[in-house]
Amino acid sequence: MASYLILGAGKFGRLACQRLALQDEAATFWVVDRAPGALAAAREGQDRGWRGVVQDAISFLRQQSPAEASWDWLIPVVPVHVALAYLTADPQFRREWEIIAVPEAVGTGVQTVRRGPQGELYLSRAGHRCPDDCRAEPVCPVSGESRERPLYEELAALKVPGFEMQVLVSRQLAPGVGGYPPRQLWSLAQDLAGCRTGALIATACDCHGVVHGLRRRSGR
């Protein structure tokens, strides 16, 4: 039996609930979304061990006490980089850090690289649309390419001058469903406390990832 915190009740939030419940009938779910209608749709067929919270996902996270939280896994399926949004929702963190563009070198060797509006990089080893029930096997079921070394390992091993890399590893929990223990998210600010260089904040699974850049503000 596992406990899941699912951020987002859209298509992929609903799929996460369905697929995880099929694997574990005793699983419990907290699902957070601003839209009551989306939560109602996600709850369909989930009569036991299910709780919906009508709230912004990041605001909900900021209100939680890491010492009291009991979820085994956090599944982020909202359209933001949850790790970055969680950090920057703290006014003190924003006073000390600013978002900057990620160096191009971070995307070297990755098949598909797209830069976002904050200078972040979206990375994918695929040049195609992946099936939503991918099982993250060692060989891609679409292209036949090897996936033996996960993207998160490659990112963690990167040495980018002037930056410290922090990678949240998204584990495969069910077909097409990934997540990480909440404690990894809550420890991020502590991990950055002693950083005097820039920082790269990444969330990645075997094939896909997002990386944001940070640097300390002048005089901090």
Among the three residues 35, 56, 78, which one is the final residue of a domain in this structure? 78
Domain check: are 137 and 103 in the same one? yes
The single-letter DSSP state of residue 171 is: E
Domain check: are 97 and 74 in the same one? no
Domain check: are 67 and 86 in the same one? no
Domain check: are 71 and 96 in the same one? no
Q: What is the per-residue pLDDT for 153? A: 95
Q: What is the per-residue pLDDT for 194? A: 84
Domain check: are 180 and 210 in the same one? yes
Q: CB under 8 Å to 106, separation ≥6 — which residues?
A: 121, 123, 155, 158, 160, 200, 211
Which secondary structure element, helix H or strand E, spans residue 183, and what is its range? helix 182-186
Domain check: are 87 and 61 in the same one? no
Question: How far apart are alpha carbons 141 and 96 in whole angstroms?
Answer: 44
Query: Per residue of the chain (220 residues), what is the pLDDT tens digit?
Result: 899 999 999 999 999 999 999 998 889 999 999 999 999 988 887 767 899 999 999 999 999 988 778 899 999 999 999 999 999 999 999 999 999 999 999 999 899 999 999 999 999 988 667 666 666 666 666 666 666 789 999 999 999 999 999 999 999 999 999 999 999 999 998 899 888 889 999 999 999 999 999 999 875 5
Q: Which domain holds residue 12?
A: 1-78
Among the three residues 78, 94, 127, which one is the final residue of a domain in this structure? 78
Domain check: are 71 and 102 in the same one? no
Domain check: are 61 and 157 in the same one? no
The number of distinct structural domains making up the chain is 2
Among the three residues 33, 57, 78, which one is the final residue of a domain in this structure? 78
Domain check: are 68 and 24 in the same one? yes
Phi, psi values for residue 111, rounded to 5°:
-60, -50
Domain check: are 143 and 220 in the same one? yes
In this structure, what CATH number is given to the domain that contains residue 38? Answer: 3.40.50.720
Domain check: are 65 and 132 in the same one? no
Reduced to 3 states (helix: H, G, I; strand: E, B; else coil), residue 7 is strand
Domain check: are 1 and 88 in the same one? no
